[in-house]
Every structure is written in C-alpha cells, then in structure tokens.
Structure 1
Amino acid sequence: MKCKNIHLFLFIFLFLPAISVAQFFPTPPLPVEIGRAIGQDSSVTFRVSGISIIGNKKTKAYIIRRELLFKEGDTIGGRRLYDIIHQSRSLVYNTSLFTLVDIFPEFQDSTDLHFTVTVREKWYVYPTPQFQLADRNFNEWINTHNADFNRVIYGAKFTHYNLSGRRDKLDIYLLNGYARNLSFNYSAPYSNRSLTEGFSASVSYTQNREISYKTTPDNKLAFVKAGKFVRENFSVAGTYIKRTGYYWRQTFGVGYTFNNVADTILTSSYNPNYFNSNKAYQNFADINYTLQYINVDNNAYPLSGKAGKIGVRKRGFDFAGGVNALTFDGFYVKYNDHGKGWFTSLALMSQIALPFKLAYINQRAFGFGDYYLRGLENYVIDGPASALTRFTLKKHLATFKIPLPFKSNVLPYIPFSFYGKIYGDAGYAYQRKEFDTRLNNKFLYTGGFGLDVLTLYDLNFRIE
C-alpha cells in the first residue's frame, strides 16, 4: 500500500474540525431557462453583464477573476456556455485555494447573463507537527527497515497557503531526529499587476546521519551510517515564473549548493564516483528552465484533460568532470473520460543527462519521486538515459459522504470516492557497463490492478 503525505493524513484526522472538505464534483447542468433558450436557438449568444464573487474572505477577488475564461462585456455562444463554465470551475479549483467552486449564470434580460461565483476557502494556516521518513518511500520503510521509528524525522512545520490573499505560499521547516533540516521557502505566483509573473525563493540547511552512497547490483540502495552526521548540505535558490494565458507556464531558476560528505564515502570501499571527484565537498550552481502545460479537470487527481512538460538543467559551469551535467527531461500525459464512469490515461516520460560519465548523485532514474514502474517501487534503477510509459484503465465504483456526529459549517461531512483500476507500465534505463545492474539495459514491463480512494483535500490512497 502506498500512502502519500502520511503526516498530513494523520494531521487531518487529529484535527478534523479545522479542515474543509475538498473534492471536485461534476459541473451541474445549466439552469432550465438558459438551457431552453439554447435549445430553441443553438446560435444564440449571451453577453456577460456582471460577475459577483461570494465566499472569498481571505483571497483577493482578482485572483479568482484571473482564472475565469470570461469577463464583463464578453460575448459567449450558447453552445460553448457549459464548457466555459466547466473549464472556469476547474481553473479556479486548481488554484488549490478552495474546497468548493460553483458558477451560476442567471438572466438579466433575454441576452444578458450575470454570473455568481461561489467559493469555500480552505484552511490556509497549518502549524503542524511533522512525521517524516528517512527512506525513499513508505514501502521501503516498511519492507526494508521494518517500520523502524528510529528512522523517523520529527519536528514542526509552519505553512501558510495564502499568506497575502494572492495565492502566495510560505513554508518553514524545523526538523530533528534521524536528520536535521532548517528551511524556508516563499512563492508568489502573482507579483505584477497583470498577474502573469511571479517568483519563489528558498534556503535550506540539512544534516544526515545516513546517506545512500551507491546502488547495488540487485538495484537496492547501499547506505553508510554512523553515530555522527555523514553529510551536510546548504542550498539557496530562486525562480522567476511566467504564466501565459491559462494553461502555459515557464520557470527560470538559479541555485547554489554546498555539499559535504564524510571522506570515507569517496574511498574504494564505498564509492569513488560519488562526486566524480576526490574532493569530499562540492560547491556548484544549477541553472534550469521549464516549459509546462496543464489543462486537466483536477490537478490532484486528473480524470480528463492533458498535461506536459519539457525541462533543461545545467549543473556546474564545465561540460564534464565532477558534478557537471546537462539534463533534459519531459513528460506528456493524456486523461480520457469515456463516460459511464470509465477513464483511461496514457503517460510518456523520459530524461537524459550528458555526458554519460556522471557523478553518482546525478545518475538517478527510476525509483525516485513519481518516476518509477508500478510494481518496482522497491528498486532503484540508475542511468543517464531512461524512458517510461504508463497506461491505466479506471472505473468509478462509488462516491458517498459520511456525516459527522457533530455540526460544523467547515466540515459537514467526509467525502469518499473509489476507483478500481488495472494498469501496465514499460520502461528502459541505459547504464554504462561499469555500473550495470540486474534491471539496467533491458526492457522492463509491469502490470497489475488496484484501488484508489479519494477523500479529504483530494488525498489519494492507493492500493496496488
């Protein structure tokens, strides 16, 4: 069982009264009188006479208006009206600021429509205790380390998801335990008057008692650990964000990292290729660019739409040697709603890093983040070049709401949606001969079935 955001899951059920319900439900049909007008004349057009916004206590109204596909004075064809309302609901909901978004049109006269946008804001402020794992994922913690609580990282996190009402987010971490981390991150996606530009800034200091120093021939991570800290890392980064229209986003980022590990890690007993250098400390810069397109119904659990990304990152100022690398990566995914509760998705992902003679820390391929073959989550497959495809067939099984035993306007019920699925993945990771492993340089494929459970805040619990 794979459980994302386990600390958030525990927090939600410990502090239910402070949490709002969030699931994106289908857009209701147009009001009867508007549907009748369109039925009588499919070429009819409507003028947007006004827009009212209700329920935004913290969020600035212009942040919501930024996501609407219509504005006062626009003319909308009757045949496009429902789609425009549905897409506008998705755009507003995908800001992740609201648990409910409704858009209701009503006649002002025979051709003028007034739109009322009703939102219910999420709980934005989270001073939360933290429970994190030192391992790659939940499966590894359970299967490899027998859920050892000595491998837990604990502390506190303060997050504000809407600091000034402009969808700006502030994160502060204070963590101790198996690792230490002090970090600060602030992002402001709308920093200019036209709401097309933004920025982010972050700084972080981390100490680790254990790090992976190589990948074994059977595709497991080998760790070095000691009573003292074996790695310290300091990083600072900033990004400039450019959003064009509603679905396109560009980011330009720069960062600096200082990475220092215990000298023994670079010896022949461990991994001389860890930094591709005989120095146990490295200072390097990262420069990156990303072009992203997202047009889906729900960012957290898409069922229809498409998304894609291409990115390039340059690490270091030389082309080869040390930690220098030039990395290209990208993905494309298409989600299809076939009606009657049936859905499919097809995803393509790939990355390549140059030159192929890379430091170990730059060789990550399958097994990190969301870049893996389902069924092989417990394995790490490194390599400078890799590609992956995923296919999923889903069936909506049930949706219901469980009312709470106490009355609350913030949380009147807990929603649940269940989706059964079958899936198949295929991938290939190229690795140089001297670092070859059991799963490198061969065609890999997996398949299976599972169940997705969607609940509060679009949290997705997967059993596969």
Structure 2
Amino acid sequence: MLLLAFFTNFWLSFFEPPADTTAKIVVRQVNFTGNFRTRERIIRREMDVRAGDTLTRQKLDSLLEYDRRKILNTNLFVTVELKQKPVVDTTQLVYITADGKRIGNLKEIDLDVIVKEQWYMLAFPVFQLADRNFNEWWYERDRDFSRTIYGVYALHQNLTGNNDRLRLRAEFGFIPRLDIYYSTPYLDKKQRMGLTIGILRITNRTLAYRTNQDKLMFLGSESRTRERIVPYLTITHRPKFYGHHSFSAQYSITSVTDTIARLNPNYFLNGIKRQNYLQLSYSHFYDRRDRGQYALKGFYYGFNISQSGILPKDDVHLSEATLSFGQYVPLAKKLFFSYQTKAKFSTPGKQPFLQIRGLGYGGDLVRGYELYVIDGQHFGYAKTNLRYQLLNRTFNLSKLIKFRQFNTFPLAIYPNIYADFGYSRNQYPELNNSKLANRLLAGGGIGIDFVSWYNFVGHLNYSINHLGEARPYFSFGREF
C-alpha cells in the first residue's frame, strides 16, 4: 500500500497543472520580526508591497524579491526573509472595487518580514597604512612600518533606530586625522529628506607634494607640512526607492609650509601657501543592483557636478562633472558578466596639484596600474569582469557564538578574469614628466574575490599592464 501511494502521489505531482500565476492574492497584513532596534517604518520605506494590496501571484513574487533586496541594501541586517503565510478559510472572499465591480474567489495571505539585525555599534583600534593602497606600500615604500596610522574608529550605524549614523575617527601617527559626522536619511514624515553634517581635520607631516613620472613624491618632516579643515553639510532627497539626490556644501581651509610652496609652486598655484574656498555640488545616483555590496545583476548610473570657488575671495575656481554607469548581467546559473564606466571633465586647464585628480586615486583606476597616479583634467575608463560563483553559503554558528548579530556567517567566493581600459587627458604633462597621460591604458588579469560578514570584500588579483609589468595585488575593506 505504501508503494502504491508513493507512485500515485508521484504521477499526480508530475501531471499536476502549473500554478496559476494570474490568480489574485490579497495581502491582509504585514508583520515584522527581528527588528529589535530598527523601527518598522524604516523597513516599510523599502517595500512596494503593503497591507491591502491585491496582486497576481507572479507580480507578488517579483515585488517581494525586489523588496527583500532593498531591505538588505540598507546595510542594517545580516539576513532578510519575506515569508507568505496563507490565511485559512478565505478562498471565497468577495471584494467590491472602487467602480462597483465584484471580485470573488480571492486568496488572502499574511506577509512575515523576518530580519536579523547587524551589530550596530562598532568601536575598534585603527592600524593601517598611510599610502593609497597596500600595493604601493609593499612595492614602492619598502614596507616601511613608520608609514602607519593608529587611533580609534567608532561608528554607530543605527543610533536611534532610524538608520542614522554617528561616526568618530581619531587617528595619529603618519597622518593625524579627526573626522566626526552625523547622518540621518529621513528628516520628514514622508521619509524623503535626509541630512549629513560633519567636520574633517587632517594634519600632515610627511606629504605627497607632487607627482613625477606618474609616481607620488613625498617630503618627510618632523613638523607639520600641511593642515586642512573642512566642515561640510549634505542634504539628500530620495523621492522613491532607487533614485537619490544630494546637495552638498563644504568650506575648505588648507595651509602648507614654505618648503612645500617652494618645491612645488603649483601645489596651490603661484607659490601661495594658503587656500580657502567654498564648494557647492549636486549629484544624482540611480541604483537597481541586486546588492550594493557585491552586485551580480542590475544596473546603476549617476552624475555629479560641482563648483569650487563661489565667493569673490576664494582661492580656487574650478568646475567639474562626472558621469558613471554600470551593468551586471547573469550569463548562466553561476556565471556573471559586468562592466563599469566613468568619465570626468573639469575646467580650467591649469589646476592646483591639490585639486587635479586623474586615474589612480580611490577606485578610479585601471587594474594593473595600482602603483601609478596619472594626473589629468579629464579621464575615462571602462572595467569589465567575468566571474564564476564557486561558493555561496551562509553558515549557522549559533552553537559556537551566542550573539545573534554574529552567529550567521555568509561566505561567497568568486574566481574571475577581467580587462580594463582607461585614458587620462593632461594638458600640461611636462609639469610632472608624465609618461602615462594622453595615451590609452590597458590592463587585465585573473583574480578571486571573497565576500563575507558586514560587507567585507577582499580582492586578490594578478594583473598585467601594457608596460609588461605583471604582479599580484591585494585589497580589502567594507563596501556599501
């Protein structure tokens, strides 16, 4: 009898007609679990699906997956689950629409939003390298441990439960730095307007005062060679889910010693030792990626325009615009392709060394050229990547770790190959004897990426550039 029942159920399930994806479903209520600190309205802000919605099965499933990604992209939670729970004895509900039509035979569900919060208070000692990246310190600075920064970094990522942040960064050693800011994404009841306010102070003893042949030149000193103070204010506007607008103002006050002004009269231009200016900027960013931390599908685009030098007595008058676009395309179940592009334009042609930024700063680089900075008034680059998902698992460590914020350990590993291209346009290459400006740059290689806890991403690459230079490069950090 058991064997007969098994075969009967097997054939019935095999010939069972597919689920009706056009059937209407009513969302009776939405329940939240696991948000001990985060307020419900912060999670609701990321959701298209609301209590009382009537949707087809296909539409509901699609929206719930997008909602799950949006909640996860707040960076407030380790895991997010959206579970549908059928409501019993409601298969023959009759609803009256706004135009008086009767709709019958609707099913009701309750939606459970189950989250596991991160550990929001982070406080740890700082010990890091002062150079642009690990590779420059390793290859160019002879692994000099005097070029280190130490201090304390304290961050609360959800101070009042409203996804607001308070950060304090106090650093000493090679580059003393004090940075404090407070940010709240939602000031109004409609949760559209946000505010960030902060101040940054940096003191340099050893300072990169110019570039020569596309390498930074440093001056070491026991006394202060540069001081910089930058108070700033940013107002954000997020009218819907995916688009962000930002309006920023900052006032920069920077001074250098006579030695810096003499070694590089173009540091501020014309050999001056002090530079003050007001900068205003506007940016827009539209993000439809599945995960901002490490995207596998979707796209984004953005642009920024800024004007440095608003007041009549400002020492800098510089206009700048940047454009960026990226797309992530799944090619197969575990195979993914992506590309990112960015371009920058600025004027006038003669710019202070402190402001001119080409390729090699931050993430604006062609892989294979991590040891170079190619100054330029304009630049553009394209990065391409083909990656394979070797591992993507979440490990339950509750038997070893009792803190709920740490007993879930996600780990993903992606071997990949890549090819990058870039160009930095410099109208005055003779000022720094540049060999890489005004020519096409090409680099590529193989690598492996590790994605884990709290937005940690590590990259281990082996790259080669058009100069024939080939070596391994390593980088890691938190990505948002």
TM-score (norm 1): 0.88
**Which residue of the other structure, out of 84, 88, 92, is the alignment partner of 2:63?**
84
Cα deviation, residue 319, structure 1:
10
Match of 2:181 in 1: 185
CA distance in 1, matches of 2:17, 2:314: 66
Match of 1:62 in 2: 41
Given residue 111 of structure 2, which amino acid in structure 1 is its aligned partner?
A: F
Q: Report matched runs for 1:209-358 at 5 Å.
A: 209-217=205-213, 219-267=214-262, 270-317=263-310, 322-358=315-351
**C-alpha distance after superposition, 1:226-270 (max 9, x if no partner):** 011101011100011000210000000001111011112122xx2
1:162 correspondence with 2:158: yes
**Contact 2:264-2:271 within 8 A present in 1 as well:** no
Match of 2:99 in 1: none
**C-alpha distance after superposition, 1:325-350 (max 9, x if no partner):** 10000200001122320101011101
**Contact 1:130-1:157 within 8 A present in 2 as well:** yes
CA distance in 1, matches of 2:218, 2:238: 41
**Which residue of the other structure, out of 401, 406, 412, is the alignment partner of 2:400?**
406
CA distance in 1, matches of 2:200, 2:371: 28
CA distance in 2, matches of 1:65, 1:323: 44
**Which residue of the other structure, out of 353, 365, 371, is the alignment partner of 2:358?**
365
TM-score (norm 2): 0.85
**Which residue of the other structure, out of 386, 389, 393, is the alignment partner of 1:393?**
386
Match of 1:21 in 2: none
Given residue 456 of structure 2, which amino acid in structure 1 is its aligned partner?
A: L
Given residue 382 of structure 2, which amino acid in structure 1 is its aligned partner?
A: T
Cα deviation, residue 40, structure 1:
4.1
CA distance in 2, matches of 1:149, 1:330: 38
Given residue 195 of structure 2, which amino acid in structure 1 is its aligned partner?
A: F
**Which residue of the other structure, out of 50, 53, 72, is the alignment partner of 1:93?**
72
Task: Look at both structures and tell me which one has the larger radius of gyration over its CA atoms.
Answer: 2
Match of 1:418 in 2: 413
Cα deviation, residue 143, structure 1:
1.4
Cα deviation, residue 140, structure 1:
1.1
**Alignment CA distance shift 1:222-1:340 (3 Å):** same
Cα deviation, residue 310, structure 1:
0.4
Cα deviation, residue 39, structure 1:
3.5
**Contact 2:265-2:272 within 8 A present in 1 as well:** no
**Alignment CA distance shift 1:102-1:430 (3 Å):** same
**C-alpha distance after superposition, 1:375-432 (max 9, x if no partner):** 1111101100110011111111123456657242523353322111111111111101
1:442 correspondence with 2:439: yes
CA distance in 1, matches of 2:218, 2:417: 34
5+ residue gaps, structure 2: 1-14, 92-106, 462-480
Given residue 25 of structure 2, which amino acid in structure 1 is its aligned partner?
A: F
**Contact 1:50-1:114 within 8 A present in 2 as well:** yes
CA distance in 1, matches of 2:311, 2:381: 29
Give the SS at the match of 1:302.
coil
**Alignment CA distance shift 1:319-1:329 (3 Å):** farther
**C-alpha distance after superposition, 1:136-183 (max 9, x if no partner):** 111111112233221111111211000010000000122111121222
Which deviates more from structure 2 when the two are superposed, residues 401-410 or residues 323-332?
401-410
5+ residue gaps, structure 1: 1-35
**C-alpha distance after superposition, 1:165-207 (max 9, x if no partner):** 0000000122111121222111101111110110000112221
Give the SS at the match of 1:244.
coil
CA distance in 1, matches of 2:158, 2:204: 31
**Contact 1:277-1:321 within 8 A present in 2 as well:** no
CA distance in 2, matches of 1:172, 1:227: 26
Match of 2:473 in 1: none
Match of 1:454 in 2: 451
CA distance in 1, matches of 2:151, 2:166: 17
Which deviates more from structure 2 when the two are superposed, residues 276-285 or residues 304-313?
276-285
Which deviates more from structure 2 when the two are superposed, residues 81-90 or residues 144-153?
144-153
Given residue 209 of structure 1, which amino acid in structure 2 is its aligned partner?
A: R
Give the SS at the match of 2:68.
helix
Cα deviation, residue 324, structure 1:
1.7
CA distance in 2, matches of 1:63, 1:349: 32
Higher relative contact order (CA 8 A, sep 6+): 1
Which deviates more from structure 2 when the two are superposed, residues 186-195 or residues 317-326?
317-326
Which deviates more from structure 2 when the two are superposed, residues 80-89 or residues 192-201?
80-89
Cα deviation, residue 38, structure 1:
10
Which deviates more from structure 2 when the two are superposed, residues 395-404 or residues 438-447?
395-404
CA distance in 1, matches of 2:458, 2:444: 19
**Contact 2:78-2:408 within 8 A present in 1 as well:** no
Given residue 343 of structure 1, which amino acid in structure 2 is its aligned partner?
A: F
**Contact 1:415-1:455 within 8 A present in 2 as well:** yes
Match of 1:145 in 2: 141
CA distance in 2, matches of 1:104, 1:463: 37
Match of 2:10 in 1: none
Given residue 56 of structure 2, which amino acid in structure 1 is its aligned partner?
A: G
Cα deviation, residue 306, structure 1:
0.7
**Contact 1:102-1:118 within 8 A present in 2 as well:** yes
**Alignment CA distance shift 1:320-1:369 (3 Å):** farther
**Alignment CA distance shift 1:159-1:407 (3 Å):** closer
**Contact 2:276-2:314 within 8 A present in 1 as well:** no
